[in-house]
């Protein structure tokens, strides 16, 4: 990210980097150490780096990430990079708030053809294999071939874009400019065929529904009557006097009265 950010700044871009650190499921804490890994980029006047904790938010992104993106756009940042928590097969909410989805992989990780990663690979607009240098170069080239084969098995993307697989070496600063070339080519394609505007509208609809869902959930759990009945139903579950579905129906009927 640091090398890529510096490349963009050298091209006259203002760059914002929003990193999301995983939170402990036990202590709920987060180290927020991503910024320390970008010692040079953080000194750039045209760069803004904001680490945040994922908390209990699913999707590999923090709760307010979308709002932060909107603020960064309003503040005049040309490129906004979002680094997610190690994205899992069900943690793909980041796709619903970005224009370009880049999947960063390492050679030899064993998931070139692994079905468990299928959902993420289908969303990817480009797959970048990092650490393609030294003794790892041969494995990286092999991984690129395997990923290309896997991508050909997926149906054509709605955007009309064919995902690209690239090699890069962050430590040698090789292949970084090619990544920006691919991203630029992608935007030419989707802005030309109207998909860019269509996707932005669909994302707004998605976040409208998410906002409603979040608000209803908060309203439900802060209801005093629900809180009291919830304790009773949890106790009834422990004593095998009810089922989760029966308990849920009772709680929802309280909220609806």
- The pLDDT tens digits for 215-251 are 999 999 999 999 999 999 999 999 999 999 999 999 9
Token pair in block for residue 95: 């796709």
Q: Which CATH fold would you assign to the domain 2-195?
A: Rossmann fold (3.40.50)
SS3 120: helix
What gap in Å lies between CA 194 and CA 191, rounded to an integer?
Answer: 5
- Asked if 21 and 54 touch (Cβ cutoff 8 Å), the reply is yes
The reported pLDDT for the residue numbered 30 is: 42
Does 163 have pLDDT greater than 80?
yes
What gap in Å lies between CA 147 and CA 161, rounded to an integer?
Answer: 16
- Asked if 99 and 159 touch (Cβ cutoff 8 Å), the reply is no
What gap in Å lies between CA 22 and CA 248, rounded to an integer?
Answer: 31
Q: What is the tens place of the pLDDT at every residue in 112-135? A: 555 445 678 888 999 999 999 999
Q: Is 59 exposed, middle or buried (0-12, 13-18, 19+ CB in 10 A)?
A: buried
pLDDT band at 22 (very low <50, low <70, confident <90, very high): low
The reported pLDDT for the residue numbered 63 is: 63
Q: What is the tens place of the pLDDT at every residue in 170-217? A: 889 999 999 999 999 999 999 999 999 999 999 999 889 888 988 999
Q: What percent of the chain has pLDDT over 90?
A: 57
Does 24 have pLDDT greater than 50?
no
- Asked if 255 and 226 touch (Cβ cutoff 8 Å), the reply is yes
The reported pLDDT for the residue numbered 255 is: 65
- Asked if 113 and 147 touch (Cβ cutoff 8 Å), the reply is no
Instruction: Give the pairing of strands 164-167 and 102-106.
Output: unpaired
- Let me know how long the chain is: 257
- Domain limits, CATH 3.40.50.300, in the chain: 2-195
- Asked if 161 and 125 touch (Cβ cutoff 8 Å), the reply is yes
Torsion, Cα 215 220 224 228, to 10 degrees, reads -150
Choice among 10-14, 87-91, 213-217 with the minimum mean pLDDT: 87-91
SS3 129: strand
Q: What is the pTM of this model?
A: 0.82
Ranges 22-31, 154-163, 190-199, most confident: 190-199
The reported pLDDT for the residue numbered 55 is: 55
What gap in Å lies between CA 1 and CA 40, rounded to an integer?
Answer: 11
Mean per-residue pLDDT for 22-28? Answer: 47
Strand extents, DSSP E, the chain: 15-21, 47-53, 79-83, 102-106, 126-130, 164-167
Long-range own/partner contacts, residues 243-252 (CB < 8 A, 24 or more apart): 251/226
């Amino acid at each position: 990210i640091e090398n890529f950010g510096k490349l963009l700044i050298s091209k006259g871009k203002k760059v914002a980097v929003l990193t999301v650190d995983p939170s402990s499921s036990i202590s709920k804490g987060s180290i927020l150490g991503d910024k320390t890994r970008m010692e040079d980029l953080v000194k750039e006047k045209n760069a803004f780096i904001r680490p945040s904790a994922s908390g209990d938010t699913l999707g590999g992104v923090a709760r307010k990430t979308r709002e932060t993106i909107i603020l960064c756009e309003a503040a005049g940042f040309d490129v906004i990079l979002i680094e997610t928590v190690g994205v899992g097969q069900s943690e793909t909410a980041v796709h619903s708030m970005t224009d370009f989805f880049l999947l960063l992989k390492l050679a030899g990780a064993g998931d070139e053809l692994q079905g468990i990663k299928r959902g993420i690979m289908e969303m990817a607009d480009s797959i970048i294999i990092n650490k393609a240098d030294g003794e790892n170069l041969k494995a990286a080239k092999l991984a690129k071939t395997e990923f290309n084969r896997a991508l050909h098995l997926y149906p054509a993307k709605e955007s009309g874009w064919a995902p690209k697989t690239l090699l890069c070496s962050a430590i040698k600063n090789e292949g970084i400019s090619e990544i920006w070339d691919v991203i630029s080519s992608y935007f030419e394609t989707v802005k030309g065929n109207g998909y860019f505007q269509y996707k932005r509208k669909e994302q707004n609809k998605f976040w409208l529904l998410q906002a409603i869902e979040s608000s209803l959930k908060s309203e439900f759990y802060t209801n005093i009557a629900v809180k009291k009945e919830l304790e009773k139903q949890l106790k009834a579950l422990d004593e095998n006097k009810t089922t989760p579905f029966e308990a849920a129906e009772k709680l929802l009927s309280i909220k609806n009265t």
